[in-house]
Chain A
Amino acid sequence: MPITKHSRLVASTIAVVLGATSLVACGSSDDDKSASSSGPATLTFWTWAPGMDKVVDLWNKGPGKQQQITVEVKKQASGDSLITKILTAHKAKKAPDLVQAEYQALPTLVSNDALADIATESKDAKSKFAEGVWQQTTLGTDAVYAIPQDIGPMMFYYRADLFKKYGLAVPTTWEQFAETARALKKKAPDKALTTFSANDSGLFAGLAQQAGAKWWTSSGDKWKVGIDDAATRKVADFWGGLVKEGAIDNQPMYQPAWNKALNTGKEIAWVSAVWAPGTLTTAAPQTKGKWAMAPLPQWSAGENVTGSWGGSSTAVTTDSPHKAAAAKFAAWLNTDPQAVAALAKESGIYPASTSAQTSDAFAQPPAFFSNQSDFYTKASEIAKTTAPSAWGPNVNVAYTSFNDAFGAAAKNKSDFGAALKTMQDATVADLKKQGFGVAQ
Chain B
Amino acid sequence: MSSLAVRKAAPAAGTTPGTAQGPPQGSRIALVPTLTLLLGALYCLLPVAWVAIAATKSGRELFSTFTFLPGTGFTQNIRDLAAYREGIYWKWMGNSALYAGLGALLSTGVSAISGYALAVYRFRGRETIFSILMAGVLMPPVILAIPQYLLLAKADLTDSYASVLLPLVLSPYGVYLARIYAAAAVPGDVVEAGRMDGAGEWRIFTRVALPMMVPGLVTVFLFQFVAVWNNFLLPYIMLSDDEKFPITLGLYTLLEQGSNTPALYTLVITGALLAIVPLIALFLVIQRFWSLDLLSGAVKS
Q: Is the CB of A1 within 8 A of B147?
A: no
- CB contact under 8 A between A278 and B260, given known A44-B240, A74-B240, A94-B158: yes
Q: Is the CB of B64 within 8 A of A348?
A: no
Minimal Cβ-Cβ distance residue in B for A256: B63
Quick check: is A10 within 8 A (CB to CB) of the other chain?
Answer: yes
Q: Is the CB of A348 within 8 A of B261?
A: yes
Q: Is the CB of B259 within 8 A of A17?
A: no
Minimal Cβ-Cβ distance residue in A for B253: A77
Quick check: is A285 within 8 A (CB to CB) of the other chain?
Answer: yes
Q: Is the CB of B260 within 8 A of A263?
A: no
- Among A14, A48, A259, which residue has its beta carbon within 8 angstroms of that of B258? A48
Closest beta carbon of chain A to B16's beta carbon, Å:
39
Q: Is the CB of B259 within 8 A of A309?
A: yes
Bits for B114-149, please: 1 = Cβ < 8 Å to A, else 0.
000000000000000000000000000011011101
Closest beta carbon of chain A to B164's beta carbon, Å:
15
- CB contact under 8 A between A50 and B146, given known A44-B240, A256-B63: no
Quick check: is B153 within 8 A (CB to CB) of the other chain?
Answer: yes
Q: Given the complex, which residues of A lie within 8 Å of B242, measured CB to CB?
A: 74-76
Quick check: is B257 within 8 A (CB to CB) of the other chain?
Answer: yes
Question: In whole angstroms, what is the CA distance A263 to B59 when docked?
Answer: 12
Closest beta carbon of chain A to B200's beta carbon, Å:
42
Q: Is the CB of B260 within 8 A of A6?
A: no
Minimal Cβ-Cβ distance residue in A for B262: A282
- CB contact under 8 A between A75 and B253, given known A20-B143, A46-B240: yes
Q: Is the CB of A85 within 8 A of B241?
A: no
- CB contact under 8 A between A263 and B262, given known A13-B142, A50-B257: no
Quick check: is A283 within 8 A (CB to CB) of the other chain?
Answer: yes
Q: Is the CB of A312 within 8 A of B255?
A: no
Report whether over half of chain B's contact residues are helix, strand or loop; otherwise say mixed.
Answer: helix
Closest beta carbon of chain B to A102's beta carbon, Å:
8
**Chain A, 221-258, CB within 8 A of any chain B CB:** 256
Minimal Cβ-Cβ distance residue in A for B144: A17
- Among B142, B147, B252, which residue has its beta carbon within 8 angstroms of that of A24? B147
- CB contact under 8 A between A48 and B253, given known A21-B150, A76-B240, A278-B260: yes
Q: Is the CB of A275 within 8 A of B260?
A: yes
Quick check: is B60 within 8 A (CB to CB) of the other chain?
Answer: yes
Q: Is the CB of B256 within 8 A of A4?
A: yes
Quick check: is A286 within 8 A (CB to CB) of the other chain?
Answer: yes
Interface centre among A1, A275, A278 (most CB of B within 10 A): A1
Q: Is the CB of B257 within 8 A of A92?
A: no
Q: Count how many chain B residues have C-beta atoms less than 8 Å from C-beta atoms of the other chain.
A: 36
- CB contact under 8 A between A310 and B260, given known A13-B142, A285-B60: yes
Q: Is the CB of A85 within 8 A of B237?
A: yes
Minimal Cβ-Cβ distance residue in A for B251: A77
- CB contact under 8 A between A76 and B262, given known A259-B64, A263-B63, A286-B64: no
Quick check: is B177 within 8 A (CB to CB) of the other chain?
Answer: no
Closest beta carbon of chain A to B121's beta carbon, Å:
33
Q: How large is the interface on A (under 10, 10 to 19, 20 to 34, 35 or more residues)?
A: 35 or more
Quick check: is B263 within 8 A (CB to CB) of the other chain?
Answer: yes
Q: Given the complex, which residues of B lie within 8 Å of A102, measured CB to CB?
A: 259
- Among B145, B256, B260, which residue has its beta carbon within 8 angstroms of that of A7? B256
Question: In whole angstroms, what is the CA distance A329 to B282 when docked?
Answer: 47
**Chain A, 259-281, CB within 8 A of any chain B CB:** 259-260, 263-264, 273-275, 278-279, 281
Question: In whole angstroms, what is the CA distance A144 to B219 when docked?
Answer: 56
- Among B150, B233, B240, which residue has its beta carbon within 8 angstroms of that of A91? B150
Closest beta carbon of chain A to B245's beta carbon, Å:
9
Quick check: is A88 within 8 A (CB to CB) of the other chain?
Answer: yes
- Among B62, B150, B252, which residue has its beta carbon within 8 angstroms of that of A77? B252
Minimal Cβ-Cβ distance residue in B for A19: B146
Q: Is the CB of B64 within 8 A of A260?
A: yes
Q: Given the complex, which residues of B lie within 8 Å of A49, measured CB to CB?
A: 258, 261
Quick check: is B236 within 8 A (CB to CB) of the other chain?
Answer: yes
Q: Given the complex, which residues of B lie within 8 Å of A256, measured CB to CB?
A: 62-63, 67
**Chain A, 135-193, CB within 8 A of any chain B CB:** 150, 152
Q: Is the CB of B146 within 8 A of A21?
A: yes
The contact sample of 26 A-B pairs, CB cut-off 8 A, is: A1-B263, A6-B252, A10-B233, A10-B236, A14-B233, A20-B146, A48-B253, A48-B258, A75-B253, A79-B256, A85-B236, A85-B237, A89-B153, A89-B240, A91-B150, A92-B154, A150-B260, A256-B62, A256-B67, A259-B63, A275-B261, A282-B262, A285-B59, A286-B60, A347-B261, A348-B261
List 17 additional contacts besides A77-B253, A312-B258; criterion CB under 8 Å: A21-B147, A48-B253, A49-B258, A74-B241, A77-B249, A77-B257, A78-B259, A79-B256, A81-B256, A85-B237, A88-B237, A94-B153, A275-B261, A282-B262, A286-B60, A310-B259, A349-B260
Interface residues of A (CB under 8 A from B): 1-2, 4, 6-7, 10, 13-14, 17-18, 20-21, 24-25, 44, 46, 48-50, 74-79, 81, 85, 88-89, 91-94, 96, 102, 150, 152, 202, 256, 259-260, 263-264, 273-275, 278-279, 281-283, 285-286, 309-312, 347-350
